[in-house]
Structure formats: structure tokens, C-alpha cells
Amino acid sequence: MFNSCRVPGVGMDTYELHDPSLYRHVVVVRGGEFYQLDFVDEHHNPLPQAVIESRLNQVVAVGCNREDLPGGIGVLTAGNRDTWANDREELIKLDPNVIQGLRVIQSAAVVVCLDDKDPVSVGCASEGVWNGRENGGGNRWFDKPVQIVVYENGKAGLLGEHSMMDGMPMVRYADYLVKNNYGDTAVIAPMGKGEYFEGGVKDVFENVPTDVLRMNPIVTKMVGRGMEEFNKLVGDQELTATTFRGFGAKDIKKFKMSPDAFVQCVIQVATTRLFGKSVGTYEASQVRVFRHGRTETTRSCSLETVELCKAMGMRNDGEWRRKEEAERRVGLLRKAANSHVGYLKKAAKGEGVDRHMFGLKMLLKPREKVPELFNNPIFNAAKTWRVSTSHLTHPSFDNWGWGEVVPNGVGIAYSIHGDRCVFNVTARKDTGYSRRLAQFLEDGMVETWGTIMTVMQGGSKL
């Protein structure tokens, strides 16, 4: 998570893990320029807050006054991995000191991105943290496991690189950040003296001649191509953030129903209405109780949810207001929710099927004959996740999310707070799915809850 980095390679990337006792710096990005900033002294004691603030202000001041910025080579990390691997080798060939600068970034504890934007809405802030579109992608280093994004107006977020870790470590990290003041670090280690008050900030590529990275036509062309590809990539995406404030986990629990299972059932109703049919749905479930365990797939689309969706229909027919019909639908809802909880428990115990089958496929050697099962169209359709979902709730998170995993699919990240539910929906812009699904989700929440209320008001026992 810290002092590590994904490194591009043709055909396969690698991951570098650096000893934190040997590296005591972070990398701060401002205006597409990268700076090395020490945050502990030579004895690895945290520097005083005033020193950290002074050094960050130096970065901001220098970044605002420079006229030789290259436009941000960080955008290259957003491109095709093989292309970035080749570009990286080209950069290293230009000057031997380039690799030194890259190693500074790769060994940094984290990357801090100081963006010169002031997003107001949750959606705009979320999109900026997600892809850095407004900065052209140059104010990021997407290979780093942890990037802290801070805006001019004080809004902030975290961007995680997924290959070596999942969401929960980032949640724990964020939880620590929001619950502790910087001065609390003195409990862990004595505060350093910070003798070098004015120093400690270096241009990561200070040993690389100006004409190599900032005036070289090869780099200019490389970055220009990278920005063009980046703008097309993020321009094809659409993110819709919505908060449903009608009810939350507290009310759902009153009916002895899992809040996660309830929301997953609503997702099934909403996506069935979006696509006109039930489709493969993925929910990430944790298997961290096992050594090296990460996630397993909980298949949220089941026979029980299909029956529920049939009963709810392709649109709000108002039938849920009739007691008899409401009782029938609530019964189907409870069956679907119980089925979901059952699968989730099995997945958490390592009894899911998807990671097992994936592991078997990865055991195939190059040019080894692929078993017929892996080429079976039904098998492949069953693991095409047109709906990719995950649940993560933290009181300090306004939103969170990721992109869809197939071109004709959607990504649904959600949080279930005590009094509200937050949804982040992503999809390719040309599909029109994002905004439509956000509305279907809100409608589904209202309709499903209304069905329950009809039963309750009629005096029936849930």
C-alpha cells in the first residue's frame, strides 16, 4: 500500500515494494510537475506540522510560477499498459537521470495531488478524484497504490490502484486520516525538530536537463498523444452520483432484513428495467479471513431475484398499493434477500465458484489446450458482469466508486447509512445508462419501500 508502485511491462506489469525504513518522502504533484517532499527527519520522526505546511506552500508557489512545465508526463500512466511500458523505456533512453526520478516516484510513501480546481457538487468532486479529467490527467501518477487528491477549496479524496489491494485497506486508511489530528502522531513517534525549515522540497526530475523532458519533441509528442487518448477515454465515461434520503439502514433493519440484501434486490429491479432482462451481477465479497485472501464473487442475480423482478414489473404499475399484491411481493422480496445473504455467507467462506474457476484457468500454460468449459458460451455469458456492484459505507465518505467492467455494462457503488443510501453509477456515455439507472434506483427504492408500508399499514405481519 505504501512505498510501492505498479511498473509497466510489455505483456505483464510488475510491482515494486520498497522498504519504508529507507525512504521517508512523499511525492507532491502540482500543475503536472512532481516534487519530492520529506515528511520525517533522518531519525524517521514526523516533522512538525508547520514544516510540512511550509513545504507544501513551496510546492504551490513554485508550481504557479513555472513556465516550463511539460504538460504532465503523469498522463502516460493512464494509457494502454504496453504503450506506457514502451514510453517509459523511451524516457529512460533520453537521459540516465530519468530512471532516478521515476524511482523517487515509485518509492514514495504516497502521491499527493494538489489540484487547482474548486468542485462544488459531489458528482464533480467524485469525477475529479476518479480520473483527474479537468487537469488533463497530468496531475496524477495512476500506477501508485494511494493518491491523495486535494482541491483548492479543501475538498479531498483518495484514489486507489486496484491490482495489489481492495477497498477495505483504503477505508481503514481514510478512517485514520479523518479521526486523527496530525499532532496525534506524537503518540506513535516523537516529533522531529525540523531543523531544515526552508528545505526539503526537490523537483523529482531536477537532475534531468530542461531540454529532455520539457522541450524535447519526442516527449512533447508522447505527452500530446497520451492526453488525446486520455481525453477520449474519460470523455466516453459518465458518472452520476445520487443520494436517496427516504430511509436507510436503520429502517431496513426494523424489518429484520439485511440492508445490503435489500439494496441488492432494488438493484436487480432497477437493472432489469434498464436492460429489459436480468443480467449477470457481481458483488464483491471479502475473503480476508484467509491468508492472502482478497475477494470472491457474490452472484446477486438469482432465481429468487428473477421472480421478484417479474412481480415488480418493467415499470411502476401501482399494484403494490393493493394489500394482497403487496404481501405477495414482500414475500418474494424476503426470499430474494435471504437467498442473497446465503450466497454471501458461502462466498465469505471461500465456497464461491468464480475465483476457483479463475484460478484453474490461470494454471494453464502458454499454448496449452484450453478445456472446452472455458470456451462454452453459457459459461462465458455467466461471468460477463454487465452489472458490477460493491458496498462500502463510512460516515466520512460522501461518495465512492469505479468504472463499469464491460463496455455495455454499469458500475454501481453504494453506501447504506442510517438514514440514507448513496449510489454512484458509471457507464459509457453513449449508452445513456448512468442517469437512467440512477433514476431507476431511486424509483425502485421508493416502490419497494412503499410495498412494505402497504403491508405494515394493513396490519399484516412481515
Catalytic annotation on 292? Answer: no
Measured CA to CA, the distance from residue 197 to residue 177 in angstroms comes to: 24
Q: Of residues 44, 162, 292, 394, which has the active-site annotation?
A: 162
Strand partners, 237: 428
Backbone phi, psi, residue 33, to 5°: -110, 145
Measured CA to CA, the distance from residue 387 to residue 267 in angstroms comes to: 9
Q: What does the buried/exposed string (b/e) look like for 217-237 if buried means 16 or more CB atoms within 10 Å of the residue's CB?
A: eebeebbeebbebbeebbeeb
Sort 298 into a burial class: Cβ within 10 Å, 0-12 / 13-18 / 19+.
buried
Amino acid letter, 448: T
Backbone phi, psi, residue 46, to 5°: -60, 140
Strand partners, 244: 421
First to last CA, the chain: 45
Strand partners, 440: none
Q: Which of 271, 390, 269, 286 is nearest to 332 (CA)?
A: 269
Sole residue written with cell 446465503: 342
Amino acid letter, 383: K
Contacts (Cβ under 8 Å, ≥6 apart) of 133 = 127, 231, 234, 235
Catalytic residues, by residue number, are: 162
